[in-house]
Structure 1
């Protein structure tokens, strides 16, 4: 090494300068990180520059738009509107007190009427099917005239004629009729609904004998049929009701022998109404169609 060569390494001021540049760079980076950009103003400036310089974005037809900016700039928002959902939903404030109402928008009167009519038709069809089942199970008794089965609305009536079932003026079932009662009892186990056993007589007053009036005879006959139905425990007691009508509800006129014979009967009336419906629901049904409950045979 010659005497003209300086000391090895960079000059001393270079280290100070490098430190100063590093600090300045960090300072401006921090300033940039703290800065906030006004996006709206930036778009306005960019738009003005685009118009001034004639710059226009071009999108290829084959290119699939990506992101949200294309949607925001190329499409205008549409007006929103409520959608009415015509569905029946069960709504209630208490889990033990259910009720039925129209959810997500109320139905028009015509639509509610149509839904109600469909429900009535379905209920009537169920009762008619149960009546046909009873007729099939009691086919022999129906053909021999001992029993009649008919339906009206949500009510099925099994009519037991006096002929062959009770001796004249007596409430004791004939022994030959007990097997018929057994078949009726078995048939009723497959048919839902409350059961009313209703006794009827003709208008001929009773003279002497065990019963003072037709009220006692009709009630006793209904009670005898009820005891026979409850035998063997196939039917529940809480389904039963016993009623005696005497001659107050004749089946036909009492001015002929045949008419009086038809009026002497015991009817097993099965009512399948709407036991689960609340009073408010029945009121709403009446409001929609005042004749609906009459059609169903519900009091």
Structure 2
């Protein structure tokens, strides 16, 4: 048996101890710190540009008081019922959802930006068969109450009863449309009309266009002042009232039916004990009786509107005059 005399070589290799891998806990901690700092600076920035009323609204928004119901996806802005406008001012706005009321065929978001200029427009309204209202002058209490019920039906169709109040007053029918913490008629500090308020005016246009009563429109703001002096609440309330008149006329109100448009600023608050309340930002439309119209004409130095003469009454008076007995002395009778 052969014996292998070759030497056996044994190699020893030095084993390197593997270093322990670093964990990612510090990355998570740093990300949390960065997010917290960003949130802190965001809150400080909002508090700096917001007044006390807007801060209260923000707190309500963060507490969930302004959400209607159901779950909300915070990353889906299209389904968010409200959002914060970061254009220099904090404003809580409802999502743009066109109303389903009557009005022009294209009623919807930002419709007033496409209203054509001019006195007449063939697309205004949807025709005379919108309701059973008989055109004419509304004067008596029962007539005004009937017209108020018709207006209330239109308001229910556009789901804005929480923002509208209707009252029958001695001067006519007072239609008051105001803001609340859920819905704004205009963007804060501007005359940019919100779609749902526009749809309301477009829905009221065909109805109010049927009546012969004159209409007075007034704009009102809250007591929040402007920083500058060139543009104040007077200009803002006037611009909003003029835009409301324009949309009403586009919806069907006759051009010469609006007799007065005024901007009242914050001089006549609706909530007297809180001049900064949201309800003080409002548009008031007053369907005037003939007596109230005469008073406005007299204040403006205009002649009173001549009363309409019923032709049938005139004919009856003439017939009664002709039937009067004549005297036997012709020289005492003079034909007129």
* TM bucket normalised to smaller: 0.3 to 0.5
TM-score (norm 2): 0.41
Greater helix fraction, Structure 1 or Structure 2: 1
TM-score (norm 1): 0.46
